[in-house]
């Protein structure tokens, strides 16, 4: 399948998850992420698009076991570029035109050395190549970070068997957390 077909298929599969399955899978992801994240102090995360049934990263930001973490996210600014901002527990948000939560109080982040980036995706292959929503924001952002920064996808589904066709701008992930496992890729 090409990228568009995979994007359409996995977006549909995620939207078809029952609320019970979504909660069950989310608990599995959270349980796998917590011990992994104990090793990181500076984390960049996506904020969940609830209507697309993304993993709720607010559960991590607000988890007392992770209160040692300095959290950041990126938002699309008026010019179409990314702006990096701090996030913290109990923050207030508004939804943008894509239904992405945007901090009501934006404090521009002076991005220190980000150690881990949590990356949204629809599906991933066994080499760490992902399919996102197709806008390219994350590939552009990931390409600006230190070579020591770890990129971790979060997926409700195990990696697909077939290889995802990549382009020069595509950045593979180092690992992926699913409800069942943490997968480390060799890249």
- In sequence order, the β-bridge partners of residue 183 are 176
- Does residue 135 have a known ligand-binding role? yes
Classify 152 as helix, strand or coil: strand
- Does residue 14 have a known ligand-binding role? no
Q: Give the strand pairing for 182-184 and 101-103.
A: unpaired
- Does residue 61 have a known ligand-binding role? no
- Does residue 138 have a known ligand-binding role? yes
- Does residue 7 have a known ligand-binding role? yes
Extract the tokens encoding 161.
């068997």
- Does residue 54 have a known ligand-binding role? yes
- Does residue 81 have a known ligand-binding role? no
- Does residue 131 have a known ligand-binding role? yes
Longest pairwise C-alpha distance within the chain: 43
- Does residue 137 have a known ligand-binding role? yes
- Does residue 4 have a known ligand-binding role? yes
- Does residue 80 have a known ligand-binding role? no
The secondary structure of 50-83 as a DSSP string is GGGT---THHHHT-GGGTTPEEEEEEE-TTSSEE
- Does residue 133 have a known ligand-binding role? yes
Give the residue ranges of the annotated binding site for substrate.
Answer: 47, 54
Give the residue ranges of the annotated binding site.
Answer: 3-7, 47, 54, 130-138
Give the residue ranges of the annotated binding site for ATP.
Answer: 3-7, 130-138
């Amino acid at each position: 399948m090409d990228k568009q077909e995979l994007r359409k298929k996995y977006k549909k599969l995620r939207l078809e998850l029952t609320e019970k399955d979504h909660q069950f899978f989310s608990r599995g992801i959270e349980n796998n992420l917590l011990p992994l994240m104990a090793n990181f102090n500076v984390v960049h995360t996506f904020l969940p698009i609830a209507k697309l049934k993304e993993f709720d990263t607010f559960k991590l930001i607000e988890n007392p076991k992770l209160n040692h973490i300095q959290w950041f996210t990126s938002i699309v600014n008026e010019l179409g570029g990314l702006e990096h901002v701090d996030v913290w527990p109990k923050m207030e948000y508004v939804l943008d035109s894509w239904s992405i939560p945007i901090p009501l109080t934006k404090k521009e982040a002076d991005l220190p050395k980000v150690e881990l980036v949590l990356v949204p995706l629809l599906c991933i292959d066994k080499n760490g190549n992902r399919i996102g929503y197709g806008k390219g924001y994350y590939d552009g952002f990931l390409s600006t970070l230190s070579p020591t920064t770890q990129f971790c996808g979060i997926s409700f589904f195990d990696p697909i068997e077939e290889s995802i066709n990549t382009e020069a701008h595509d950045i593979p992930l180092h690992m992926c957390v699913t409800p069942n496992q943490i997968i480390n890729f060799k890249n």
